[in-house]
Structure 1
């Protein structure tokens, strides 16, 4: 076994968040990461392996072993430049985990599938459903006759967050303010509470919200230091209903990590991210240049992308694309302009709020915006699936009934909130709240008594008590 110089730094917990610092060459920083978070990486992958079967009907081991699995394509990309260092980093993570838990069953394949879980379940499996079904021809040792399934995933990719970025006359000091909350099924969000301070041997030093064992953010929230007083701020919202996918492209988690680690300006971010694009986990990216104050909206589909830029204004993310090519040719059932749905409702509400706070937007205002409970469809305060601070668990979905969309009282909603301004980003710091952005608690046992139809999720539903906003910073180790 190769000897490794492990440059470990502090790991600490604060207000529900786990903060770690790693640095160095790819394999070495991976070992450090694996050692620091061995238990969490192991538990997160174990949970994901159970959830993938529950949510798709496909077994985790099948995804590792089947010849048709997208895993093999992903590994081909990760074995070549410019992504090879990320494969080495994950190899180091596996070794680091095993140094702490010698009999840990986690493999490199597990870690790659875990990093691509969102793309795996939201992009590849929906597109590969007929082929997957055809390949499942043996059950209990008995080979079955041929046949095809009519199963389709007509709603397209899921949608997961609210976000905005503002600059110029909209903020208190003319500099950038960025904010994001992620709403997702509660069973999938138990490990989204990691903040990684990563200083690679080559490329940019950056801070990101992440998950145990991830080489990327997923949420996504990045602050990037390019030089003294220079850097980028990046977040996104997913494009709901997106259903275009190219199995031959590089996985999104590798492309975004490369762009974050090596882009020095907004143009380079677009160029690096778009190279080898596969349409996986398609997003509307919101990014800003700390030095110039310029911000950008980058809607990235599969064949199409669209960019808007300004030095005085804002861009809001609400899970529906504005580009008509992406919306009409690469999406299905996107929710665009339908204020009964969270996409259309927040397409209205977020601009209202940003105009209302014009000239006063700072971290505190951003935190208030992320906690907003105004329902534009019913025109009143009503925490539900349509509000910026989403609460599907309180929503009877009386005005919606669509196959493939969230059902009444689904345990899903905003699970965190993160904000930062330019000064925060310069020093790689951010403000974060783990749990609902408004502070409303969620208690699993109480919820299941009211809604026993979700008993099948019991093992995955965790209490989410009310927590405070906290500041996390690169040099806190």
Structure 2
């Protein structure tokens, strides 16, 4: 355990970095920066290399070009209600500078890092043709005729209440479907006690003011708070460059919303369509849960006090699916969206009345393939394993390639009792515990040798409970 003082400390356990910080925006940023300095520095440096590998455009271009989205994102952060989060990032930079000799990290680096998913998967595809035309080269202003194929999709999730859970109160679960090269630093659990707004805990990455993995719990009062998770909307392909980035809108909603209605209202303020998600949110005080599909022009809300909602990377709202997405995989059980649209409800019914952390963890570890109708860990299963999948049933351009190193890289579950203590259960590595050995994988699949520096071993680790209460006794 590393402790700056009684209110700011870090513990590491079973592959996770747990960090607890309190205070004003700048103060907690400084503490976070000091406690996570090595990981913040390394993760930004890795992101810079990956950004060029995945877009062909350098980090310096994103940081310095007048064509970059960065100035517009920063302008939003310089104004209310988001100014607090810029102060927090400025504090992080100061904290890293106190720990790292010759530190070159800037606030601009951290803004781009916080928006990495939106930068590379939403804004850049919409701007790629214009950027290409502006670059020097033999053919001058020739275009690429490149079309935005739609955003990638990343998670499985569910939230349940009433007759579906063991105690009638809320239970939620989530795992992240991520390219392995992008997930090396998704192993942070941050417990934040801000000067204003609600305390909250989240799965996150070093230097982030939001989750990205999108697991949050908030405490809004005695016996009250929100449980929040999501799945991305695959194929989403509209974007408003003038809106506020998703990472500040979700942080604002998490820290300041005290009800389901307020969460929706705060999140939709200045909506730009970036990192579009199906949000699954529960109110601990009332046991009501909500599915909030948030597109750009359209959104859809469903609520219940007895039932469940499942996230599988495709929207139910026909307007979002047909007008704001392409190739969503909605009902195609050869695809992971369609397959999990079938499988997660089957599992919710199987465990109806028994849902708790133990059964939620079994759901996240499930390997049943509804297309082949057998146990078969692959891209279509709730615990996804693209790295084991020949993809012989899929040959669409732009979709993950055969044996792509990608899949479920974590698992998180929580009950209402956990959330009231701002605690959660987490597993780092595959949700099922299956290990990944990078050297062996690259020997068998040398077509991915260009990712060698980014692919790390992912050993099997146990489910572990995290929260300030647990960490103070580690």
Q: TM-score range by the shorter chain?
A: over 0.9
How far did residue 150 of structure 1 move?
1.7
Deviations, residues 126-164 of structure 1 (Å, cap 9, x unaligned) = 1111111012126xxxx862211122232x000000000
Deviations, residues 93-128 of structure 1 (Å, cap 9, x unaligned) = 001000001311111110000000000011000111
How far did residue 367 of structure 1 move?
0.1
CA contact (8 A) 2:33 2:40 kept: yes
CA contact (8 A) 1:236 1:283 kept: yes
How far did residue 63 of structure 1 move?
0.4
1:93 correspondence with 2:89:
no
Secondary structure of 1:11's match? Answer: strand
With normalisation by structure 1, the TM-score equals: 0.97
The aligned runs of 1:391-470 (5 Å cut-off) are: 391-470=385-464
Question: What residue number does 2:124 align with?
Answer: 125
CA contact (8 A) 1:266 1:287 kept: yes
Secondary structure of 1:297's match? Answer: strand
Secondary structure of 2:219's match? Answer: strand
Cα RMSD for the two superposed structures:
1.1
CA contact (8 A) 2:37 2:99 kept: yes
Give, in whole Å, the separation in 2 of the partners of 1:257 and 1:6: 25
1:30 correspondence with 2:24:
no
Secondary structure of 2:315's match? Answer: coil
Give, in whole Å, the separation in 1 of the partners of 2:372 and 2:310: 22
Structure 2 residue runs without a partner (length 5+):
none
Give, in whole Å, the separation in 2 of the partners of 1:209 and 1:178: 14
CA contact (8 A) 1:244 1:302 kept: yes
CA contact (8 A) 1:15 1:467 kept: yes
1:57 correspondence with 2:56:
yes
Question: What residue number does 1:195 align with?
Answer: 189
Deviations, residues 437-456 of structure 1 (Å, cap 9, x unaligned) = 11100000000000000000
CA contact (8 A) 2:413 2:424 kept: yes
Deviations, residues 183-239 of structure 1 (Å, cap 9, x unaligned) = 110000000000000000000000000000000000000000000100000000000
Give, in whole Å, the separation in 1 of the partners of 2:396 and 2:100: 45
Question: What residue number does 2:365 align with?
Answer: 371
Give, in whole Å, the separation in 1 of the partners of 2:165 and 2:468: 24
Secondary structure of 2:67's match? Answer: coil
Structure 1 residue runs without a partner (length 5+):
none
The aligned runs of 1:319-398 (5 Å cut-off) are: 319-398=313-392
CA contact (8 A) 1:169 1:312 kept: yes
1:146 correspondence with 2:141:
yes
Secondary structure of 2:8's match? Answer: coil
CA contact (8 A) 2:339 2:370 kept: yes
Give, in whole Å, the separation in 1 of the partners of 2:146 and 2:5: 48
| 1:307 paired residue among 289, 293, 301 | 301
Secondary structure of 1:179's match? Answer: strand
Give, in whole Å, the separation in 1 of the partners of 2:329 and 2:206: 32
Give, in whole Å, the separation in 2 of the partners of 1:320 and 1:148: 31
Secondary structure of 1:187's match? Answer: helix
